[in-house]
Chains A and B, each alone.
Chain A
Amino acid sequence: MFGWEFPPYNSGGLGVACLGLTKALSELGVEVIFVMPKKLDIKTPWARIVFADDARIDVRAVNSMLKPYVTSRSYTRDGGIYADDLLGEVRRYAALGGAIAREEQFDVIYAHDWLSFGAGIEAKRATGKPLIVHVHATEFDRCGGPSGINREVYEIEKEGMEQADVVIAVSELTKNIIVREYGIRPEKVRVVYNGIDEGTAPSSGGSLPRLRSLKASGYRLVLFLGRVTLQKGPDHFLRAAKRVLDRNPHVLFILSGAGDMDDQVMRLAAELGIGGHVFFTGFLHGADRHEVYKAADLFVMPSVSEPFGITALEAMKLGTPVLISKQSGVAEVVKHALKVDFWDVDEMANKILSVVGYPGLRQALAENAAREAEYLTWAQAAQKVNGIVHELVQ
């Protein structure tokens, strides 16, 4: 299995998905060799942190400078030189992928997202084994639409999907993009929704004491947590915040995460005159992340285009009501959530104000969301993947 990030060294949902899926697959008796590019010497920490108690997963590290979640803008804005380097890395990872495949014993090749597709294709070329590509996001999602997509990235994605024996999409939404934009036959594309596992509650870091004191003084907390990029819609979040605060000043907005729109959203908060009610926390890990989810009265995921949106499940699992964009894969599977079109800032504000103002709504959402999240597991996803693997092996 070719990936590119893994907890705790992950910056988004992909690493979480790889961990959840590999773990659940191993519980079904599937042996997973997880290959990833990483310039750090990760041998010891990976084995210790992630797989210490699970000998069936073997981590192979490939030296690389790849960064997950680079957007097309960030790797093209430096005049294309960086882009050349990145694509060079992708090619190098691909070549190494072929070499590793020749050394290992396995039945099926599995590649997560475009940076590892090349490695998957090379492995298939080297061994003739069937290839599954798992699409967690497409270039269209990362760019928030068809304008400004990077053609080379698109071509790599397209080739990976074409060479694959089966394409796994994280939602119908993503499947539609794969069929429409990449010309893949719909019969070849299967939808496997992400899951969420029983999280071990991190020991309370207590690094966000201010949140608790603000809550105690009668404020309601509304949380955005995700990369601060066009795709995730942080600007829509702030515009809704403005509408909310015009009506109810006892609400605070937490914008948690980092990304290429950091400066832009801070400027926007100031322009809207709501700077005093918006807190920028930067990227949160472990206990802090857990705490901010729990402290929030509402988690908002206003994504412009969200192939799945695992953060919504994380919040639900902790009993936090969620408001999610209808342009998200998770909205296809989750019922006990408020939903809104990302562009409908008025409706977003209406729903935020309702959650803030009506305790019955908060309580019903919290109870039902936590219960619903119990059923959306990685075990379920792994079972579907395992079925596909067995089809290919026979």
Chain B
Amino acid sequence: MKSVCFYFQVHQPYRVKRYRIFDVGNDAEYFNDRGESNLNNRKIIEKVARKSYIPTTQLLLELLRRHPEMRISFSFSGVALEQLERHAPEVIELFKQIIDTGRAEVLGETYYHTLAFFYSPAEFESQVTKHRDIIRRLFGARPRVFRNTELSYRNDLGEWADRAGYTGVIAEGWDPILGWRSPNYVYKPKGAANARLLLKNYRLSDDVAFRFSSRDWSEWPLTSEKFAAWIGSAEGDTVNLFMDYETFGEHQWEETGIFNFLEKLPEELAKNPGLDFKTPSEVIATYEPRDEVDMPHIVTWADTDRDLTAWTGNPMQKAAIENIYALENDVHLANDAKLLEDWRKLQTSDHFYYMCTKWFADGDVHAYFSPYESPYDAYIAYMNALSDLRLRVGKRR
């Protein structure tokens, strides 16, 4: 038997509005853009809910009814959940229904979708705890498998998850690390006693997430039948299909046929008697680890480098991330809940991604997802907001 393991990432950051130097000291609301641009977080959450979250979740609920053997999993960032609670509560209700089926697992992550693991262990722990609390409050669930922001992983994350009692961690199945090994097996993270490592099959995942509507792609159009056949012919114990939830209806628009593809997929997979569905926890419980995987350096899902350079590679990103974590002690000493929350919202990894200059000049809109005119505009807004935050910290102390 071979398993198909789905995990969908649900995340929306609090984008910093166009915040000018002249606003420093006068405006402590960094995320409340109310204009027509893509910096209006409320507008975006409502749009993504309408185009993606609602229709996809309704479809998945229907598919779970039709196919009793079907299993899926989600990772929700805390900042996405709180924005949905406020601006699109119907989505939360649908998520509750899907979790209540008992066939959709919820994974653990950092509440603010941050890279805190690599910058502040204490802050990381706080955010994981806060995430666990919102998952318990909304869904009555407790995450058993951990997924770090941007699938960033290093040996010490595996060790941490092991100590913290998680049964597994999710990471990118990156060839230079795996060598001859396939991502389609369960592995043991180096340094961990009990936890297991689940690796993303990025080729098959990206066929859906990135290439689905690409007419330049030789396999276009991708049918459920064809995709199910590829999964069927893959070697290994488990095919881990990890992707952004927005793939359905937002990154790939409805007109591309993505919903029809998703609707037909379970029945196509069911035609193959050698395939079943499993959640990450079930995969870990079912299959024995084949080998130990050693990742001494950070590996992420991103671009051909699969490292953190998309977030921390240029001088702006380095300065921004150093500056935000440098405030940690002072923010705690200030003892102000709103200040702490704003500081944490500014840690969300998306802010640093918007400052990435790697592909900016290529005009590749797919590589450069950003609501800002340029990485420089992203940086200016961020640093100005941070200047204001620093001022507020100083006043409170």
Contacts and interface: CB of A to CB of B under 8 A. Distances in A.
A244 to B, nearest CB: 9
Contact of B22 (A350, A358, A359, A361): A350
A357 B24 CA distance: 13
B319 interface: yes
Given A347-B20, A350-B380, A364 B360 contact: no
Interface in A302-345: 335-336, 338-339
Contacts of B316: 358, 360-361, 363-364
User: Which residue of B21, B374, B384 has the most chain A CB atoms within 10 A of its CB atom?
Assistant: B21
A377 interface: no
A391 B71 CA distance: 62
Interface of A: 243, 247, 335-336, 338-339, 346-347, 349-351, 353-354, 357-361, 363-365, 367-368, 372
Interface string B283-317: 00000000000000000000000000000001111
B220 interface: no
A364 B319 CA distance: 11
A361 B355 CA distance: 10
User: Which residue of B319, B360, B374, B380 has the most chain A CB atoms within 10 A of its CB atom?
Assistant: B380
Contacts of A368: 357, 361
Contact of B315 (A336, A346, A350, A364): A364
B376 A359 contact: no
Given A336-B361, A364-B376, A368-B357, 13 more contacts: A247-B22, A346-B20, A350-B20, A351-B380, A354-B379, A354-B384, A358-B319, A360-B315, A360-B317, A360-B383, A361-B383, A364-B314, A365-B376
A221 to B, nearest CB: 19
Contact of B319 (A347, A349, A359, A367): A359
Given A358-B383, A368-B357, A372-B361, A338 B376 contact: yes
Interface in B12-51: 20-22
B373 interface: yes
A354 B360 contact: no
27 contacts: A243-B22, A247-B21, A335-B360, A336-B360, A336-B361, A338-B374, A338-B376, A338-B377, A339-B374, A346-B22, A349-B22, A350-B21, A350-B22, A350-B380, A350-B384, A351-B380, A354-B383, A358-B319, A358-B383, A360-B314, A360-B379, A360-B383, A361-B380, A364-B314, A364-B315, A364-B316, A368-B361
Contacts of B383: 354, 357-358, 360-361
Contacts of B377: 338
User: Which residue of A338, A339, A346, A364 has the most chain B CB atoms within 10 A of its CB atom?
Assistant: A364
Interface in B312-352: 314-320
Interface in B132-191: none
Contact of B376 (A346, A361, A372): A361
Contacts of A353: 21
Nearest to B319: A360
B302 to A, nearest CB: 19
Nearest to B377: A338
Contacts of A359: 315, 319
Contacts of A365: 376
A249 B2 CA distance: 68
B22 A363 contact: no
A367 B383 CA distance: 20
Nearest to B318: A360
Contacts of B20: 346-347, 350
A346 to B, nearest CB: 7
Nearest to A326: B373
A361 B360 contact: no
B374 A361 contact: no
A345 B358 CA distance: 30
A350 B22 CA distance: 7
Contacts of A358: 316, 319, 379-380, 383
B195 to A, nearest CB: 37
Nearest to B323: A360
A335 B374 contact: yes
User: Which residue of B22, B319, B376 has the most chain A CB atoms within 10 A of its CB atom?
Assistant: B376
A359 B360 CA distance: 20
Interface in B106-144: none
Contacts of B373: 339
A114 B68 CA distance: 77
Interface string B80-121: 000000000000000000000000000000000000000000
